[in-house]
Amino acid sequence: MKRRLTSFDGTESFEAECVRPDRYRQLFAELSSPRLLIPRGAGLTYCAASAGENVVSVDARSFNRILEFDPTVGYVTVEAGITLGDLYRFTTPRNWILPVMPGSPSITVGGCIAPNIHGKNQFKDGNFRAVTDELRLFHPDHGEIVCSPRERPDVFNLTVGGYGLTGFILSARLRLQRLEHSAFRLRRLKVRSLSEAAEMMKDLANKVQVLYSWHDLNGSEFGRGFVYAGDPIESEGNNHELRYQELDAETRGRWRFPMFGRLSTRSSLAAYALSQRWAGEEETLTLAQAFFPPVGKEFYFKLFGRPGLREYQVLIPHDEWPTAVERLKQLIVSHSVPITLASLKIFRGRGALIDFEGDGVCLTLDAPEGRNTRELFADLDRWTEHAGGIVNISKDSRLQGSFLERIFPEFDRFRQQLTVFDPNRRFDSALRKRLDV
């Protein structure tokens, strides 16, 4: 069927052919067709990674079953269409948890593997690759492939963070972490600037399990905000319960007009800052609140209305951060773009190919879609390149291959490996075309 598919940020939209197989026979028939294909999960990637013109989007969400669970060592094998919310509901009562999860419980496991996502504990538990033990992949030219860090590591590394371009993930074996606590104590630490926040977070990274910050970049006190540091604690009662509202690109963009302007952004962020000050320095969060912080705040995305939002997520090396922050301030002030969200995380590790992974400070910025925002983000691209940073490809619908070639040392290697693995280009998407890989 033809369906209009929109990227989650609302800035890319296609009249795409969609299929939703619900049996393996039907799935393999679809995947063996001569048409260009791309797997699709919940469609929550900010850019059009699972859709494109003249590309058939293969909805994976009917393949959402749990196939194996080993409670002795903590492994679970699932079909890739299962959501993190469903997986959470299965593992937590059994005292296990998937340690790497992005904020949305609606995202599918396949949707975590494709962009090699990270959570609010990247500094401690790494990206999704770190919890992915083995994949069963189907590609019409190769058949079924089992790959892992031990078996066909080339295919494994290309698939995790490969944006669905290596085939349809039939199942994934995931490494769980034993759940030894039932709640989190969240400390709320006031900071005056992004520099102060980054310093504080670097120190805290060895001591806490969850770490992120929130900042207001719009007023005269640029960068004031809070660092949130979460430690596991024991708590009475059932803390496993997870209730959430399904959010997709269509419901996100249902409101016709955006609510975020310069004035409304400044006042709403001031109100948020006030609410955080009133909330005190500490609070107890349930597991669900700690792992899925955006739950209950879905309206934030709706406030961008049909025109949508732009997100810029960048990883800047620690050494470059103090200088980079000064330049960032100049850019944001000069462009007068309302920044609706600014947040930091600490990253550790070493990424490969086009992974958003490495050592440094991760900055996330949200702004309403518009010419000023695009101009600011174009300047931020130059800022990133100058600071030796990398950007998160899954978050930004503007990024071009020519820019990514300059900032990702292994970008060309990704392109070559993908061409070798899929010379007939059976899997395609708007993202692939834009990146020119």
**Binding site residues, another protein, CB under 8 A:** 1, 18-26, 62-63, 65-69, 79, 90
Q: Are 293 and 105 in contact (CB under 8 A)?
A: no
Q: Which CB, 90 or 244, lies closer to another protein? A: 90
Residue with tokens 């995202």: 107
Sequence-distant (6+) residues with CB within 8 A of 23 are none
Q: Which CB, 75 or 272, lies closer to another protein? A: 75
Q: Which CB, 247 or 315, lies closer to another protein? A: 247
Q: What Cα–Cα distance (Å) separates residue 337 from each residue in 217, 233, 269, 302, 324?
A: 10, 40, 14, 19, 18
Q: Which CB, 63 or 128, lies closer to another protein? A: 63
Q: Smallest distance from the beta carbon of 43 to another protein, in angstroms?
A: 16
Q: Smallest distance from the beta carbon of 87 to another protein, in angstroms?
A: 11
How far is 388 from 385, CA to CA, in rounded Å?
A: 5
Tokens coding 406: 């300059």
How far is 247 from 231, CA to CA, in rounded Å?
A: 28
Q: Which CB, 81 or 225, lies closer to another protein? A: 81
Q: Smallest distance from the beta carbon of 66 to another protein, in angstroms?
A: 5
Q: Give the single-character DSSP code of 304.
A: T
Q: Smallest distance from the beta carbon of 290 to another protein, in angstroms?
A: 24
How far is 112 from 118, CA to CA, in rounded Å?
A: 8
SS3 assignment, position 190: strand
Q: Output the DSSP codes for 95-129.
A: TEE-S---S-TTSBHHHHHTTT---TTHHHH-SGG
Closest CA relative to residue 320, chosen from 384, 269, 276: 384
Q: Is the dihedral of CA 419, 420, 424, 430 positive or negative?
A: negative
Q: Which CB, 28 or 300, lies closer to another protein? A: 28
Q: Which CB, 63 or 301, lies closer to another protein? A: 63
Q: Smallest distance from the beta carbon of 426 to another protein, in angstroms?
A: 22
Q: Smallest distance from the beta carbon of 179 to another protein, in angstroms?
A: 17
How far is 373 from 337, CA to CA, in rounded Å?
A: 6
Buried b (16+ CB within 10 A) or exposed e, 397-430: bbbebebbeebbeebeebbebbeebbeeebbbbb
Q: Which CB, 23 or 386, lies closer to another protein? A: 23
Q: Are 390 and 358 in contact (CB under 8 A)?
A: yes
Q: Residue 238: beta bridge partners?
A: none
Query: Whole-angstrom distance between the N-terminal and C-terminal Cα of the chain?
Result: 27
Q: Smallest distance from the beta carbon of 21 to another protein, in angstroms?
A: 7
Q: Which CB, 30 or 357, lies closer to another protein? A: 30
Q: Smallest distance from the beta carbon of 69 to another protein, in angstroms?
A: 5
Q: Smallest distance from the beta carbon of 81 to another protein, in angstroms?
A: 11
Q: What are phi and psi of 205, to 5 degrees?
A: -60, -25
